Amino acid sequence: MITIDQMDAAPSHGGFPLDEFDESTRVIYVIGETDTGKSTFCRFLLKAFSEKYPTAYIDCDPGQSFVGPPTTLGALIIRRSEVIEERYLRFTGSTSPRGTLLQNLSAAVRLKEKAFEKGVSRVVIDSSGFIKGKVAREFHFNLIELLKPDCIAAFRRGYSVDLLLRNFRERDKIKIKTMDVAEEVTEKSIIKRRLYREKRFQDYFRDTEMGEIKINRFGLHGNIPDFRYPEKWKNILFAFCDRENFVVTLGIVSEFDISTRTMHFYSKPFNHREVSTIQFGSIYLDTSGKQIGRYG
C-alpha cells in the first residue's frame, strides 16, 4: 500500500491561498499546460487536506497517469492522513484524451461521484495538459461544466488557459485562483514521457497469466475490434470492468477464435465473477507493455 509520504509533492502552496478554503470549497480542479507543475501541486493539496478531511485525488491524465497504468483515470481515497485506502480506475482506451473524449469525460465524472459516495469531503482533480487548441479547450470546458468544481486553480502560462478561464469568470459558484509556474518545474521530453508510459505498463503487466473467456457472456463496448478479422484482435488492450464500469483488471488479447467467440488474453489474476463488461481500447501492446500500434 502506498503512503502519502512516498509521493512527489510540491514543497509549498506556491501562492495558493489554502487558508481561504471554507467548508463550501469541496472540489478543486487544477488546470495548466503540460509541465506546469499540476500533479505535484495536486499532491501538495492532497497532503494538506487529508490531514483534516477524508480526501480524494482524481487523476485525469491518461498519458502520464499517476494512480493507475496509462489509459486509465483513477481516484485515490485517503481517510487516515497517511495511508491510501481505496483506488478506483476507469479505462479510457488510449494514452491521450484525443479520440476518446467521451470516455475521459464520463470517467472523470464517475470517479468524482464515486469519491463522494465513499464519504470524502474534499476532492482534488488533476487534469491532463491537453488544453491547447479548440478541441482540447472545448473538452476542458465541458469537463468543468460536468465536474462543477468550487474552485479552479490554474497555472498561468499560455493563451489557452486564459481563454478557457474567461468562460467561468462570471460564475458565482466557481472561485478562480491563478498561480505562477514555479521556477523549479522541469520539462519532460516526448521520449521521457513515452518511457514513463512503457515503465508503468511494464510494471502493471509484470505478473500476468494466460486466460480465456467466451465474450458472448459479457457486455462489450469501446473500440470493439471487427469480428471478421481476428488478426485485428491480437495485442489489443482492453479492460474487464465491473457492473459500474470500474476496472477489474486490464488485459492484452493474445488470440481471438471467431468460431467459438473465445478470447485468449494475458492479465493479472482476477475474480471472473466481478466482470460485467469488456471495454476495448485503441492501442496495441506487446506483453512487455510496449505500444506497437493503434486500432481505428
Ligand X SMILES: Nc1ncnc2c1ncn2[C@@H]1O[C@H](COP(=O)(O)OP(=O)(O)OP(=O)(O)O)[C@@H](O)[C@H]1O
- 182 touches ligand X (CB under 6 A): yes
Q: Using the structure block, give the residue that is written with the C-alpha cell 491518461.
A: 62
Q: Which does 185 bind (CB under 5 to 8 A by kind): Mg ion, ligand X, none?
A: ligand X
Q: How far apart are CA 46 and CA 4, in angstroms?
A: 8
Q: In what order do the strands lie in the sheet with 72-78?
A: 84-91, 72-78, 55-60, 122-127, 27-31, 151-155, 175-179
Most distant CA atoms of the chain, gap in Å: 63
Question: Cβ of residue 74: shortest distance to Mg ion, in angstroms?
Answer: 13
Specify which residues 153 forms β-bridges with. Answer: 30, 177
Nearest approach, Cβ of 196 to Mg ion (angstroms)?
Answer: 11
Q: Tell whether residue 95 is a contact of ligand X (CB under 6 A).
A: no
Cell matching residue 232 = 485485428
Binds Mg ion (CB under 5 A): choice among 36, 39, 72, 95 = 39
In whole angstroms, the minimum distance from the beta carbon of 220 to ligand X comes to: 32
Choosing among Mg ion, ligand X, none, which partner's interface includes residue 14 (Cβ < 5 to 8 Å by kind)?
A: ligand X
* Site map 169..208 versus Mg ion, x via CB under 5 A: ----------------------------------------
How far are the Cα atoms of 18, 216, 271 from residue 116, in angstroms, in the given order?
21, 34, 26
Q: Does 291 bind ligand X (CB under 6 A)?
A: no
Q: Assess contact for 39 and 64: CB atoms under 8 A.
A: yes
Residue 34 in the binding site for ligand X (CB under 6 A): yes
Is 14 one of the binding residues for ligand X (CB under 6 A)?
yes
CA angle 178, 181, 183 (to 5 degrees): 150
User: Which of residues 61 and 275 has its CB atom nearest to ligand X in the complex?
Assistant: 61
**Residue among 186, 189, 216, 259 that touches ligand X (CB under 6 A):** 186
**What are the distances in angstroms from CA 159 to CA 114, 133, 165?**
33, 10, 10
CB under 5 to 8 A by kind: which of Mg ion, ligand X, none does 32 bind? ligand X
Return the residue of 7, 29, 31, 32 that touches ligand X, per CB under 6 A: 32
Residues touching ligand X: how many (CB under 6 A)? 20
Interaction partner, residue 59 (ligand X, Mg ion, none; CB < 5-8 Å by kind): none
Neighbours of 6 (CB within 10 A): 8
- DSSP assignments along 60-95, one per residue: E-SSS-SSSSTTEEEEEEESSTTBEEEEEEEE-SSS
The smaller minimum CB distance to ligand X, of residues 11 and 216, is found at 11
Q: Which does 93 bind (CB under 5 to 8 A by kind): Mg ion, ligand X, none?
A: none
Name which of 65 and 267 has its Cβ closer to ligand X: 65
Nearest residue to the partner Mg ion, using Cβ: 39
Q: Are 30 and 60 in contact (CB under 8 A)?
A: no
Burial (CB < 10 A; 0-12, 13-18, 19+), residue 147, is buried
Residue 44 C-beta: closest distance to ligand X, Å: 8
Give contact residues for Mg ion (rule: CB under 5 A).
Answer: 38-39
Q: Which residues bind ligand X (CB under 6 A)?
A: 8, 10-11, 14, 32, 34-40, 61, 64, 129, 182, 184-186, 188
